[in-house]
Amino acid sequence: LPDHSDPGADWKSAAESLVGNVQSMMESDKLRVQKNYERSKAQAHELYDRTVSTMEERLRAIDKERQRIQEAIQKARRERDDSLSKADQERREAVAQIEAKMQPILDRVNFNSSAPENLLPPHSAETDHDDELEPPSELCCCITGDLMDDPVTAMDGHTYERSAIEAWFARFDEGKHPTSPMTNEVLTSRRLIPSHNIRSQCKTWKAKLKKPDEVPDPLANLTSNTSSSRGYSPKGGSSRGESRGESRGESRGE
């Protein structure tokens, strides 16, 4: 049977039991917290060591790449210096060759006299022939620049191919005075005066410019001779009719 003679003894026993349980729980929690701390500490150290190891490997790779780049730069610098040295040597040799080649010519030149014949450009008879076959500018149309077939003189005093100057006049409205294609001055009239002298010279030049392999049409000569014997012009009309036609053309031009 329990001893009820001392109630304080039961309370004391219960309190001691409670304190023991609390202390046991505290120790258990402390141990658990310590284990968690140790685990976190180990993980942190492991992560740090792994990160440091990775960074060190990258640094070593960067150092190797830097060394490789430096070696490539040094190699490129050596190649550049060698190339410049070689180019300078080639330049010196080329200059020396040019001077050696030109110096005898300079030594033969006397600037106080005319140039020696062996230094003058070769004379070409073909070039002179081409210059001789170049028609004078007064026989060429001021608009087209070609040798004229039907030269006429406008009121500005310049000679044009009839078709070219008529095409120029066609750009202006009827009743409006055209301008000169050469001076840009307003012309008082559209009158065109045939230039027979220039036409004759143009025909002469066309005969000169005709190629040797061009064979003239014998029928054309026959027709021309027949027409002349009958008093007709080579175009098939009488000279009087042609004059009347030109007069009518001049009046229409006005």
46-50, 111-115, 206-210: which range is least confident on average?
111-115
The pLDDT tens digits for 184-233 are 899 888 899 999 999 999 999 888 887 554 445 544 554 444 444 444 44
Candidate CATH numbers 3.50.50.60, 3.30.40.10, 3.40.50.1000, 3.30.300.90; the one for domain 135-210+245-254: 3.30.40.10
Q: What is the pTM of this model?
A: 0.34
What is the domain partition of the chain in residue ranges?
135-210+245-254
Distance CA 174, CA 56 (A): 96
Write b or e for each residue in 183-210: b if 16 or more Cβ atoms lie within 10 A of its Cβ, otherwise e: eeeebeebbbebbeebbebbeebeeeee
What is the pLDDT of the chain when averaged over all its residues?
77
Distance CA 198, CA 152 (A): 9
**Phi-psi group of 72: left, alpha or beta (phi > 0 → left; psi -120 to 50 → alpha; rest → beta):** alpha
Give the pLDDT band of residue 83 (cuts 50, 70, 90): very high
